Structure 1
């Protein structure tokens, strides 16, 4: 284990700490006016940290090899047709969340706010965010790959992985502490941020669905119509 390896992992963790699940949702929960917001945020962060840690452990222990066993089935024509239908469907559904599309049809704008509540709400919210994001978190997957190829022993990569996940959730923890120290000064700025997130939530969902749908459909179309799988 070298200093260069640790610095590389730390840099990747900092990038991962800015994702929707590890920053945007925690910030929104922190901005809630309820007194239980601190305990609710800690439950959320603890759950998503545990989720990413267990995913990392599974990958380090070779779960990817089990996925590779189904590679042939995933590269078949029926699989690509299903992917194409899913991609087109997601792209079409994205318009139903677009504020401009809804305004032209006289429909009210949709706004998405994370549900607040106890563990029964926070735990599923964190798990959902983790499942949605884990496949797209390139820095996290790269970090797991680096640790795998470095030939680290279990006693070495386990604490490294735990430290990586902790760095991922460090920004909202720091923001929570800052709010406790400078609440009166920070409150107006946080409220403006909350209003902005709420106002643009539907647009973000619309763009996310459209981009994911387009990429899925394009990938399937290339294989089906230009380079058919054998």
Structure 2
């Protein structure tokens, strides 16, 4: 496995670590949790890390199997037309999610306020955040695609995927450790970060959905109209 591939995966993992699920919600939990409740944040992070790791394993195994057994069928015109429709649908959906458009229509802005509770609630919150974000986490999907295309052996990609997920949750763990030793000076910065992510969470989701839709539609259009797949 080359150093370049590892650096590319590390860069994608760092981008993933700044998402609302891996950084925004942990910041909320950091500000809301007392020392006796820190375990809830750790439960949340463990849940989302395990969720993404299992999703990554499933994608790695599934993509390899699909490409080996159904590669020609997946490159057929009907599949590309379905992909094109899905891409256009997601792109249009992004406009409905745009907070500026909702404001013009007089609709209340969507809020992303996580509910804090016991261990079961934290597990459910982690699973919910993972389910909401997994389809739109372009860096994660790109990393899985890169590893699949590199034809890595399972003995290689299994620990690499684990390292990727660990990097994703390092920023909130770092903030948790820093908060333990410098709580008074860190607290105002966390409040500002929470405010910024709250104001921009809806826009980030809208832009991510738009980008995913555009990329899906573009790939399908190129295959249908410019490479003779139709």
Q: Which residue of 1 is the match for residue 175 of structure 2? A: 175
Deviations 1:24-77 (A, max 9, x none): 44334323x2447522321222123223444555677x5543121222222222
Q: Which residue of 1 is the match for residue 73 of structure 2? A: 73
Q: Does 1:17 pair with 2:14?
A: yes
Over aligned residues, Cα RMSD in angstroms? 3.3
Q: Does 1:128 pair with 2:127?
A: no
C-alpha contact 1:48 1:130 (8 A) present in aligned 2 = no
Q: 2 CA distance for matches of 1:106 and 1:48?
A: 35
Deviations 1:153-177 (A, max 9, x none): 94x7765654454333222111101
Q: Which residue of 2 is the match for residue 105 of structure 1? A: 105
Q: 2 CA distance for matches of 1:87 and 1:11?
A: 26
For these two proteins, the number of residue pairs brought into alignment is 221
Cα displacement (A) at 1:136: 3.5
TM-score, normalising length from structure 1? Answer: 0.76
Cα displacement (A) at 1:11: 7.4
TM-score, normalising length from structure 2? Answer: 0.76
C-alpha contact 1:44 1:123 (8 A) present in aligned 2 = yes
Aligned pairs for 1:1-230 (under 5 A) are 9=6, 12-13=9-10, 15-19=12-16, 20=19, 21-31=21-31, 33-35=32-34, 38-55=38-55, 63-68=62-67, 69-117=69-117, 118-128=121-131, 131-132=134-135, 136-137=139-140, 138-139=142-143, 142=146, 148=152, 154=155, 162-229=162-229
C-alpha contact 1:13 1:139 (8 A) present in aligned 2 = no
Q: 2 CA distance for matches of 1:158 and 1:213?
A: 29
Where in structure 1 are there 5+ consecutive unaligned residues?
none
- 2:229 aligned counterpart, secondary structure: coil
C-alpha contact 1:87 1:214 (8 A) present in aligned 2 = yes
Where in structure 2 are there 5+ consecutive unaligned residues?
none
C-alpha contact 2:90 2:210 (8 A) present in aligned 1 = yes
- In structure 2, the CA distance between the partners of 1:159 and 1:84, relative to structure 1 (3 Å rule), is closer
